[in-house]
Amino acid sequence: MTELSSPVRISLQENNDVLSDDIEKAGQILTRGGTIAIPTDTIYGVASLAQSTEGVQKLYEMKQRDPEKPLAICVGDVEDISRWAYVPDDNLLRDLLPGAVTVVLRRKPALNPELNPGLTSIGVRIPSHPFVRKLAQFCKQPLALTSANTSTKPSTLAVNEFQELWPKLDLIVDGGTIRNDSRLGSTVVDISEANQFRIIRRGRVYEATTQLLKETYGFREVQ
């Protein structure tokens, strides 16, 4: 594997134990408006602070992403979601998160108005990955999160698969190869309206998500 030339690199331990020094280093970079690459429970992602307009703009430029395509946010715990979005049911969110699900909720005014301007909703993730969760907890604000690839390329499972992004990143967190043969990202589901849901992207846990919403919570699926 080619060695990284530009960005700082952190290699996580094989058991994914998270060192506080690594979290602090990543958090400081984000606080300065920087961008980082991180492993999640589905694919590799790139992140900035959601409250940093500078960082958000860097993500769009890095990925050559359509400015009309929204970014999701990532928080550390279910309890953090209510600060940034209106929560319909705590128990429902605890059944869905952490995990490979992005829930779309109505956003609150506290969220950076320059993040997905004009939209009244926001996608929220809590990946089942200790580094990502502890980083969001350390920052005490959400991460803006999107996949670590340019918009025309497939999702990535290892850091060498997004080498074209390396020069544009301030830090790469190398968690090894993610086990995900399908390369599917999270299942994206809109639960912003009471007692109904809409699947925006089938993603990795589509069947389990729809089953939970229909059978446990009695939600109706809408198109």
- Residue-wise pLDDT for 143-190, tens only, equals 999 999 998 899 999 999 999 999 999 999 999 999 999 999 999 999
Q: Which region, left, alpha or beta, applies to residue 28 given φ > 0 means left and ψ of -120 to 50 means alpha?
A: alpha
Q: Does residue 87 surpass a pLDDT of 60?
A: yes
Domains in the chain: boundaries: 8-221
Q: Does residue 17 surpass a pLDDT of 80?
A: no
Give the CA dihedral 212, 187, 98, 111, nearest 10 degrees.
-120
Report how far residue 102's alpha carbon sits from residue 99's, in angstroms, rounded to the nearest whole number. Answer: 8
Question: Residue 7 to residues 42, 65, 96: CA-CA distances in angstroms?
Answer: 23, 21, 34
Closest CA relative to residue 143, chosen from 37, 66, 14, 25: 37
Tell me, what's the pLDDT at 67?
87
Predicted confidence (pLDDT) per residue in 28-54, tens digit: 999 999 999 999 999 999 999 999 999
User: Average of pLDDT values for 122-136?
Assistant: 96
Instruction: Quickly state the pLDDT bin for 89 (edges 50, 70, 90).
Output: very high
Domain 8-221 top-level CATH class: alpha beta
Q: Are strands 44-49 and 143-147 parallel, antiparallel or unpaired?
A: antiparallel
- Return the DSSP state at 214: I
Cβ contact 43:148 at 8 Å: yes
Instruction: Quickly state the pLDDT bin for 1 (edges 50, 70, 90).
Output: very low
Closest CA relative to residue 188, chosen from 119, 121, 130, 141: 121
Tell me, what's the pLDDT at 16?
60
Question: Residue 196 to residues 44, 106, 108, 187, 220: CA-CA distances in angstroms?
Answer: 30, 14, 20, 16, 5
